Every structure is written in structure tokens, then in C-alpha cells.
Amino acid sequence: MYQTIENTTFMIAFILYVASALLFFVQISKLAKKVDKAAIIATLSGLVFHTIAMGARTIGAGRLPFSNQYEFALSFAWGIVLSFLILYALYRFGAIGAFVMPLAILVMGYASMQSKTVRPLMPALQSMWLTFHVGTAILSYGSFALACAISVIYLIDSKRSEDHKILADPEVSDILGYRVVVFGFLMLSIVIISGAIWAQKAWSRYWAWDPKETWSLITWIIYAIYLHLRLRRNWKGAPAAWFSIIGFASVIFTFVGVNILLPSIHSYAT
Amino acid sequence: MKTRTAKVIHFFASLKVAIILLLLIAAYIVIGTVLPQHGTEALYLERYPATAKLILGLSLDSAYSSPIFIILLILFSINLALCTITSLNGQLRKMKSNYYPYFREEEYAIDGVEESQVQTLLAKQRFSVVEEDGVLRGAKYRWGVLGAAITHLGLIILFLGGAIGTMSSSEEMITLLPGNQHRFEKQGFTVELDDFYMTFEPSGAVKQYYSDVTVIDDNGNRSSETLWVNKPFHHNGLGFYQANFGWTSNLQIFDEQSGEVVVDGLLRNGGSYFYQPKHLTVFLYSYYPEMGIGHDQTPVKMSDREVNPHYLVILYEFGEPIDYYVLGPGEHIHYDGLQISFTHSIAFTGLLVRKDLSYPIVLASFITIILGLIVSFYLYPRFITYKDGKLITSSRRNEWVFYQSIKSTLTKKD
């Protein structure tokens, strides 16, 4: 029964996200006026159904949906939408949705291609650190996706005339992108550190140069360089936006590429 | 004029050097994940004939322990330390109560604010306030300027912990059958395995591995511990981790002529026993606790539950294979006046024993790094100045967001 609820609500959430992305796109294209409210309602409703899908999965599996590639993709997309809605609640920049929702849709699409079979947790994953480690990863990856979307907006706006900008003030999108990266960076630091503490308990070593942890470190280094250049060298605007996009590419490689290309002790995440 | 030493220090403390080092470290790390590590020279020559010499010359075959990588990490630690020390003076100056930054009036000013509103806001948000010549100044989280220094300190402690760990840590794998003991001479205690067992999911997958052990010290004091994956135990500086397990099976050879059991001992999977009188080798290919039959009609292990145990055995005489046999416990192979059987199997535990004095240092570094990042990005210094109805905000780390939050607080008041 839970699987049926999960599949149905997953599909509804997916459709609502597609609808919201289209509405946001209509809004920024100025094809119709005042569709932003409808787009936000669609996003919010999508998130509600998405949360129900995750809840059904949690009840069905008897644990949080954090253990394999399907479950993490499901949670990752949830983190992206949640990050966007939090930012919207704070600053009311709905137009960002036109760029961030397609990312959430892509991750949902990727989730739908993965095996949905519920498998029991292997012994190494039976730890309270799983919730903390993966929970912070969802927030971190969700924030980086949002920052990437804002950076794309900045790059588009920087080439447009005043009347055609997506966000009225490019400096604001630049600052927002930076703030979202800061949150993602803090969360990523917690992800790496909690993973290290967990690895010490499970495998006796806090660091083993496993491809997944190594690529997380590479992502961390990319964002650390971004923050240093920004704060110390006043690197703003287009270079910062490109850095944020490169950082997100590293996030995606850590999430998908490492699982496919590099053998890892995180291979249960396939 | 700067002295040469000061110039060198300034160079090594620079952001330029830090970024170059970080990029080199990242490049090395990427190579380490892409290239197979710790392979033989022949492997690299075969797979990468054009670049094998470069790979081996730069120790990219063992990227994370190569001298170049270690030098990069040392240089980065020096860069971090110098950057932290050289910046500290300025940061401490900014912490002083008379320090106020430049206020960018044209961008971060809010007009038409009443003084009472500002006074309430500053008091409510716990700003320290100074009033001088009709100018009201507020400051908060001055110490937040130390965030970067704290984070850098955390990273330096991490590298230090890592270096101590690399130099001082040691580990060994011990395998124990129930009743077996292992003596740790230097630490002055013995570990005895009381029991090893597994619990299973309904699917047959292992849910958890448990080792019940007793620690016996030199005075004969005994204490019991149960360890499982994710629940190690520590004693006298050693950590014990549930790392693996295996099966050992009891081989019996009965001589029909003499009516005696001539062999009675344990054999692991992949192990063999040479019975010299008949030049016979018994090779235990594998023990299947729950045997199934695969697509190619060969035995396969379904799970580690002992619900359908079988042994796949190959016999050799004078080194030549005779035949292979699939036996249940107690079933015999009759060969040349011998009855060869496996009576039962026992699971053994594999415990990883690790000594690593650096972990508390590393743990302290983790806390310091997170604390530093929180201070850096969320408890950053905030300043306000107010005169003649105009309030100006300033915060180097986060000017726009701070300005917006003050503006929205003042708007709410209206």
C-alpha cells in the first residue's frame, strides 16, 4: 500500500513541479502576467506531495529514505525545492523558480530511473550518523543547486538591458548566490566531518581516500576557493557565478559520476 | 621598506599561494581517484604505456602518500599558519571598541528613522552602543572577525592530527574462533572471543555481526564487551572494530582399515589438507551455509544462514585432480579405504585492532572548523551608525542581507 502511495504522490509531485517550472518560465518570459502566485502554489503543492512520497517510503522501509541512489535523489530534489521555497519566503524572488525547478525535475527524473526496491540497511549503515550525514548532504546539495540557478540568472541578466532582466538588480542575485553558497558550504563541511566521525566508528578510520569522500573534498575545495576569492579579492559577478556553476558540476559528479565510474565503499549508494 | 624575510613571509601567507596550493592538491586528489592506486609497475606500463614513467616518477600510483602530495600539504599548512598569524593583528585591532568600518552611505542608508526606533532596535538586538557628538553607533559580534582565524586553526590542527596519525598509528587484523584468545603484550591484556553470531533479515541478508569478547588483564580481571559494526570498543589505547567474518569447517578422515579417525581439524574456505600416507589432497573449495543451484547448475551461496549447508570439495592424488564432490555435513567421500567428510562449520570473527592516538586531536579540529565557519558566516561583525534621522548599516561579510534585515525590522515597527 505504501508503495502505491509513494508512486502516486511521486508522480503528482513531478507533474506539479513541471507545471510550476512552466509557470515560472511564462512569468520571466512576460508571456502572461501575475502567474507567479500560481507557480508558487504549484511548487508548494508539489513539495507537499513530494513529502508524502518520502513519508510513505519512510513508513514502508521502516527508516528515512537516505540509503540508495533512488532514495537520495528523491531527498535531493526535495532539498532543492525546499531551499528555493525558503529563499522565496525570505526575499520573494519567484523568478529563480524558472531555473531551479528544472534542476529539481531533472533530479526527480533521475530518481525515477533508479531501482525503487526497498532493501534493508547493511550493517555499516545502521547508525544514527546516517540521518545526520545524509540529512545535511540534502541541505547542502539543495543549496548548491539553488546557488547554481541564481548564478545562471546572474549571467543572463548581466547581458540583458534593464527592462529585460530576470531579477531587477544583478547585484542582489550575486549576493543571494553567495549567501546560499555559504549555507551549502557550512552544510557540506558538516557532511564531510560527520562522515569522518561515522567512518571512524564503522571502519576505524576517519579518512580513507574513498572516491566519494575524496570528491566531496574536491567540491569543498572549489567552494572554499570561491569564498576566499570573493571575500579577500572581492571576486563578484560573472567569475563568482561561473565558480558556483563549476562547484555544482562537482556536486553532481560526486553524486552521480562517482557512483557510476569509481568503485567506492559508498557503493551501497547505487 | 619591507625586509627580505618580511617579503618571503608575506608571499607565503598570500591568498595567491593558498589558491595555487589548493588547486595542486585538488589536482593530485582527482588523479588519485582516477588512476588505480598501489598497482604494480607492469600494470601502469600495460594500461598507460605513454605516461607510465610520469605516473611512477611523480608517485601518482600512490598519490595520497607520495612525497609531492605530502610536501603540498606541508606548504599549505605553512601558508595557513602564516596567513592566520599575519592577519591576526588587524583582526584584533578591529575587535577594539573604538573601531568602526567605513559606512557606504549611498547604498546602505535608511532615511527618516526616529532615534527612539534606533535605540529600541539596538537594545533589542543587543548591540553595544556609543553616542558621541550626536552620532549614535552600534556594534555587535566584533569578535566574529576571528571566524576565519578559528577555521584556519581548525585546519592546522587537522593536518597536525593527520600527521601524528600517519606517523604513530598501527593496525592489525585478528581472526578468532569462539574460545580463542589473542594476547596484546605491550598493552598487557588478552582478548578472548566468547561467541560470534549474526542476525538476519527475512531475505537472508546479514542484519548485523556480533562478537562477544572478554578482556582479561594481567591481574586476571575480566570484563565483557559486545561489539558490532558501528559499535567498536576501546581498551588501553586500542580500538577493536568488527571488520569481517568467515567460515571454518571441520574435516574428518576416517581410515576404514584401521577403524581410526586419522584427521580431525579445521579448514577454511580455499584451504587444503595434504594426507601424506596416500598422497591425497583435500581441497575445500567453499562452504555454503545455504546452498542453492545457479543457472549453470553449480552450487551458489544463497545466504550465511545455516539452513542448507553443503561443502564443495575437490580431491587430488599426486597433485592430479580426481573429482569434485558436493557434500552435506557428515556425508562421506569413499576413496581408497578412506571416508572423507566435513562434520560441521564454525563462523570466525575478524576484528580490526587499531591504535591511533591522533583521533582526539582530529575530533578537536572538526569542532574548531565548524565553530570557525559559523562565526565567520553567521556571527560576523555588524555595525550601525545613526545621525539626523539617517541610519547606515555596515557589515563586510554580508552587507546587503544585514541592511535588508535592519530595514525590515524598522518597517515592521512602523
- Tell me the per-residue pLDDT of A25-76, one tens digit each, with 9 for 90 and over: 998 887 777 788 899 999 999 999 999 999 999 999 888 988 889 999 999 9
Domain residue limits at A159: 121-270
Same domain, A43 and A155: no
Q: Which three cell numbers stand for residue A86?
A: 525558503
Which burial class, exposed, middle or buried, applies to A177 when counting CB atoms under 10 A from its CB (0-12, 13-18, 19+)?
A: buried
Q: Which residues in chain A are contacts of B209 at CB distance < 8 A?
A: 123
Subunit contact B400:A175, Cβ cutoff 8 A: yes
Other CB atoms within 10 A of residue A109 CB: 13
Asked if pLDDT for residue A238 goes beyond 70, the answer is yes
Last residue of a domain, one of A120, A150, A169: A120
Inter-chain CB proximity B26 and A233 less than 8 Å: no
Give me A266's grid cell.
559508498
Same domain? A159 vs A257: yes
Q: What angle is formed at CA B331 by the lines to CA B325 and CA B334, rounded to 5 degrees?
A: 65
The pLDDT value recorded for residue A92 is 85
Residues A108 and A20 in one domain: yes
Q: Is the pLDDT of residue A215 over 50?
A: yes
User: Which residues of chain A are within 8 Å of residue B356 when distances are taken between CB atoms?
Assistant: 204
How many other C-beta atoms can be found within 10 angstroms of the C-beta atom of residue B414? 8
Cα–Cα distance, B86 to B255 (Å, whole number): 83
- Mean pLDDT over the full length of chain A: 90
The b/e string for A218-249 (b: 16+ C-beta within 10 A; e otherwise) is bbbbbbbbbbbbbbeeebbeeebbebbbbbbe
One domain for residues A151 and A112: no
Q: How far is A14 from chain B (nearest CA, A)?
A: 32
| Pair (A142, A185) in one structural domain | yes
How many Å apart are CA A58 and CA A67, to the nearest integer?
Answer: 11
Confidence of residue A229 (pLDDT cuts 50, 70, 90): very high
Residue of A nearest to B35 (CA): A262
- Among chain A residues, CA nearest to B362: A206
Chain B, residues 267-286, CB within 8 A of chain A, namely: none
- Spell out which residues of chain B touch residue A175, defining contact as CB-CB under 8 Å: 399-401
Mutation to test the B interface, candidates A68, A131, A198, A204, most B Cβ within 10 Å: A204
71-130 of B, contacting A, C-beta below 8 A: none
Backbone angles phi, psi at B390, to 5 degrees: -115, 125
* Residue in B with minimal Cα distance to A185: B373
Can you give the pLDDT at residue B34? 87
CA distance B268 to chain A (A): 24
CB contact under 8 A, B33 and A214: yes
Pull the grid cell for residue A16: 506539479
Query: Which of B29, B33, B370 minimises the CB distance to A193?
Result: B370
Min Cα distance B222 → chain A (Å) is 24
Report the chain A residue with the minimal C-alpha distance to residue B363.
A197
Distance from CA of B393 to the nearest CA of A (A): 16
Q: Which 3 state secondary structure label does DSSP give B53?
A: helix
- Report phi then psi at A239, rounded to 5: -60, -40
Sort out which chain A residues have CB atoms less than 8 A from B359's CB and list them.
200, 206
State the distance between the two ends of chain A, measured CA to CA, in whole angstroms: 25
C-alpha cell at B5: 624575510
Q: In chain B, what residues touch A262 (CB-CB under 8 Å)?
A: 33-34
Q: What is the CATH number of the domain that holds A78?
A: 1.20.120
pLDDT band for position A265 (50/70/90)? low
- Does pLDDT of A164 surpass 80? no
φ, ψ for residue B46 (rounded to 5)? -75, -45
Query: Sign of torsion, CA A205 A209 A210 A216?
Result: positive
Q: What is the CB-side half-sphere exposure of residue A214 using CA atoms within 13 A?
A: 23
Record the cell numbers describing residue B198, joined without a space.
549474526
Work out the burial of residue B261: count CB atoms within 10 Å of its CB; fewer than 13 is exposed, 13-18 middle, 19 or more buried. exposed
Check B373 against A215: CB less than 8 A apart.
no
Inter-chain Cβ pairs, chain A and chain B, closer than 8 A: 102
Determine, for residues A193 and B366 on separate chains, whether the beta-carbon distance falls below 8 Å: yes
Q: Please give, rounded to a whole number of angstroms, the shortest distance from the CA of B229 to a CA of chain A.
A: 6
Mutation for testing the B interface, residue in A179, A193, A198, A217 having most B CBs under 10 Å: A193
Phi-psi region of B372 (alpha: psi -120 to 50; beta: other; left: phi over 0): alpha
Mind listing the pLDDT tens digit for each residue in A77-107?
A: 999 999 999 999 988 888 899 999 999 999 9
Looking at the fold, whether A127 and A46 belong to one and the same domain comes out as no
Spans in chain B with pLDDT lower than 50? 414
pTM of the model: 0.90
Single residue among A120, A136, A156 that ends a domain in this structure: A120
Indicate the Cα dihedral angle A37, A43, A48, A49, nearest 10°: 130
Q: Residue A232: which of B15, B29, B369 has the nearest Cβ?
A: B15
Cα of A186 to nearest chain B Cα, Å: 7
Are the beta carbons of B401 and A171 separated by less than 8 Å? no
For residue B403, give the C-alpha cell.
Answer: 541592511
Same domain, A141 and A259: yes
For chain A, say whether B160 makes contact (Cβ under 8 Å).
no
User: Dihedral sign, CA of A253, A259, A265, A270?
Assistant: positive
Same domain, A95 and A173: no
Counting every residue written for chain A, the total comes to: 270
Best B19, B29, B30, B33 member to test A by mutation, with max A CBs in 10 Å, is B33
pLDDT at A241 over 50: yes
Cβ <8 Å between B400 and A182: no
Q: Which three cell numbers stand for residue B196?
A: 560470534
- Distance between CA B336 and CA B333 in Å, rounded? 10
Interface contact flag, B230 A124, Cβ < 8 Å: yes
B15 and A228: CB-CB below 8 Å?
yes
Answer yes or no: do A133 and A113 share one domain.
no
Same domain? For A105 and A152 the reply is no
Q: Chain A interface, mutation test: which of B358, B400, B408, most A Cβ atoms within 10 Å? A: B400
**Cβ–Cβ under 8 Å, residues B42 and B64:** no
DSSP state, residue A116: -
Distance CA A40, CA B385 (A): 38
Set of chain B residues whose Cβ sits within 8 Å of the Cβ of A198: 230
- Identity (one letter) of the amino acid at B404? Q
Residues A104 and A186 reside in one and the same domain: no
Shortest alpha-carbon distance between residue A37 and chain B (Å)? 22
Q: Which chain B residues are within 8 Å of A258, Cβ to Cβ?
A: 33
Residue A136 pLDDT grade (very low, low, confident, very high; cuts 50, 70, 90)? very high
**Within 13 Å and on the Cβ side, how many CA atoms surround A26?**
16
Tens digit of pLDDT for each residue in B144-164?
999 999 999 999 999 999 999
Window 164-193 of B, Cβ < 8 Å to A? 171
* pLDDT in the model for residue A269: 43
**pLDDT score recorded for residue B2:** 67
Q: Which residues of B, range 339-358, sit inside 8 Å of A by Cβ?
A: 352, 354, 356
Contact between chains at A206 and B359 (C-beta distance less than 8 A): yes
Residue finishing a domain among A95, A120, A145 = A120
When divided into structural domains, chain A yields a total of 2
Show the beta-strand stretches assigned E in B141-295.
170-176, 181-184, 189-200, 206-217, 222-228, 233-235, 238-255, 260-268, 272-275, 280-288, 290-293
pLDDT given at position A270: 42
Task: Tell whether A57 and A146 lie within a shared domain.
Answer: no
